[in-house]
Amino acid sequence: MSVTAKARYFWRSAAVGLRHSPFVHFIAVTTIAIALFSAGMARGAARVLDNLLSSLGGEVEVTVYLAPELGEDEVHGVRTRVVELSAGEVTLVPPDAALTRLRTELGDLGDALAELPENPLPATLELRVPPEKRNPASLQALAKELRAQPGVSGVDYGEAAVERLSAIARALRFGALVAFAVVLGATVIIVAATLQLAIYARRGEIEIQKLVGATDRFVKAPFLLEGLLQGLLGAGVALLGLWAFGHVLGPTLGSLFAFLLGPGVAAPWVEPRLALELVGAGCGLGLGGSFVAVGRFLRV
Amino acid sequence: MIQFFHVYKAYPGDPPVLSDINLNVEKGEFVFLTGPSGAGKTTLLKLIFCAEKATKGQILVGGRNIARIRESAVPYLRRNIGVVFQDFKLLPHRTVEDNVSFTLDVLGVPRAEAREKVRRMLKLVGLEHKADSFPLRLSGGEQQRVVIARALVNDPTILLADEPTGNLDPALTVEIMDLLTQVNIRGTTVMVATHDATLLARYQKRTVRLERGQIVSDEDGVKAARRMVAG
């Protein structure tokens, strides 16, 4: 049989199979769609979480305290070195400006600062590090380098807060991965069990095919195609659901939580890459489920 | 064509279904396999088309030792063996033509060639006018003829029939047996398992008798028929 004739035969058999037990196939498609919709939602939620973390990470600021005896040129020199080392944005806060800021922050109590014989605050450099360095390890290394610079008397970057934030992000990502693996495993089992029902209804056909000399591959091919079609349909339904979710609830969520979650919450929920991933996952689930299910009926 | 050498078949925990079977069936021969229910007739046929594996012994089919055949080679062996079952094993949702061409689909015969072969085979079994009917609309005899057409459409060298007339009335039985005889005359080796003594007497072919899994007699047609009439 030519390849095209074979392909035509397999597609025809797969179509007959889908027509043969529509309810069972509907269940399989729905199961795949629910699993993929959940995975898509999880991806969307992860993206929002990333936005949240980077927006919080953006608040991380490194304060470099300068030695009080530095002159204007030396301060400028330290500032240049800090910019070179960190590749971030540096703002110089002179002692007077620091005192004014402190007075404002203290409110009514700020007047007490006027009693001081001299300004005790040193000049500082406020450094906003680039996003790729907003993690505990990079910040720690940067702080160490900065402390070693001449003219620098101290460095503070809220070490504990940064580490806590990173730990939370790690835990959330791990949890999402475990949840995804559980959903994936459960879906393969459900899809395989559902497909077994469909294949059970056609066990007579399989038996006859085997008795007249069909190879296992020949018997399996239409069932694998059925699984593939189910996966594609399931992915299509899931993408439709995600698109509808993004259009109906996305803008509302964006306006309600923009202050907390940042602008990412309003971004489209179905992007080309996600669509491709879900279609691939759908095909994988359908094929995997069919492969597991059909194997049981090949022993004739 | 078919040779059994000291073949045993047993299932764990049960007495052997077949014991020390030695049998030689020549090319183009017609052999009845007879004996009471449970004697091992069906198991013996199943061993030939590899639906079961022998526990011990060697089986040669067309010179090939199928006791040692690889699982992946079984489909190719089966393409040379037509099998007719007592319970027909027809696909109820496919037409007579589709049921017969099912074998050719599996073998990858081009559609036009397959259609031509199916038409010829349906003519041989006298069912060309029922090509578009569904099996459940046919009588038992007609269904069995469809099964025979399906088994023969690929021109197998061996035809195995397990109680092919078991569900049929006497007139239809004769019809089916005449068809099998015709197939044999065309050169196909035929083995028919039956416990119907009237068939043995009427067709006078070589008869192998099984009892409790052992061959108790192997007689030519005339001798077997004479014994049937006497007994």
CA distance readout (Å), B131 to A127, B8, B55, B122: 87, 42, 42, 7
- Give domain status of residue B124, yes or no: yes
As a whole number of angstroms, the longest Cα–Cα distance in chain B is 53
- Give domain status of residue B176, yes or no: no
A-chain residue closest to B91, CA distance: A205
- Strand B30-34 and strand A152-156: the pairing is unpaired
Q: Is the pLDDT of residue A262 over 60?
A: no
- Give domain status of residue B209, yes or no: no
Task: Give the residue numbers in A contacting B (CB under 8 Å), as ranges.
Answer: 1-2, 5-6, 9, 20, 204-205, 207-216, 218, 300
CB pairs under 8 A between A and B: 52
Percent of chain A surpassing pLDDT 70: 89
Nearest CA-CA distance, residue B72 and chain A, Å:
7
Cβ atoms B154, B107 nearer than 8 A: yes
A-chain residue closest to B48, CA distance: A211
Look at residue B228 in the predicted model and tell me its pLDDT: 63
The structural domain count of chain B equals 1
Confidence of residue A197 (pLDDT cuts 50, 70, 90): confident
The tokens for A69 are 């005896």
Residue predicted with more confidence, A180 or B121: B121
| pLDDT (average), residues B179-196 | 92
Look at residue B7 in the predicted model and tell me its pLDDT: 95
Nearest CA-CA distance, residue A29 and chain B, Å:
24
Nearest CA-CA distance, residue B79 and chain A, Å:
5
pLDDT in tens, B156-182: 999 999 998 887 788 878 888 998 998
Three-class HEC string of B22-74: EEEECCCCEEEEECCCCCCHHHHHHHHCCCCCCCEEEEEECCEEHHHCCHHHH
Q: Is the pLDDT of residue A299 over 80?
A: no
pLDDT in tens, B9-58: 999 988 899 999 999 999 999 999 999 988 999 999 999 999 999 999 99
- Give domain status of residue B29, yes or no: no
Q: What is the ipTM of this complex?
A: 0.83
pLDDT in tens, B141-151: 899 899 999 99
CA count, 13 A, side-chain hemisphere, A266:
11
| pLDDT (average), residues A174-189 | 81
Task: Single out the residue of A142, A143, A137 nearest to residue A155, CA to CA.
Answer: A143
Residue of B106, B115, B153 best to disrupt the A interface, most CBs of A under 10 A: B106
Task: Give the residue numbers in B contacting A (CB under 8 Å), as ranges.
Answer: 49, 51, 72, 75-79, 83, 89, 91, 93, 102-103, 105-111, 150, 154
Backbone angles phi, psi at B157, to 5 degrees: -85, -20
Query: Are the beta carbons of B49 and A211 separated by less than 8 Å?
Result: yes
- Give domain status of residue B149, yes or no: yes
Task: Single out the residue of A283, A203, A257, A207 nearest to residue A36, CA to CA.
Answer: A283
Q: Which domains does chain A have, with CATH numbers?
A: 3-55+164-295 (no CATH), 61-157 (3.30.70.3040)
pLDDT in tens, A18-31: 777 788 888 889 98
Taking CB atoms and an 8 Å cutoff, what residues of chain B touch A222?
none
Taking CB atoms and an 8 Å cutoff, what residues of chain B touch A208?
89, 91, 102
Nearest CA-CA distance, residue A23 and chain B, Å:
18
Domain that holds residue B126: 91-154
- Give domain status of residue B147, yes or no: yes
| pLDDT (average), residues A70-91 | 87
A-chain residue closest to B74, CA distance: A213
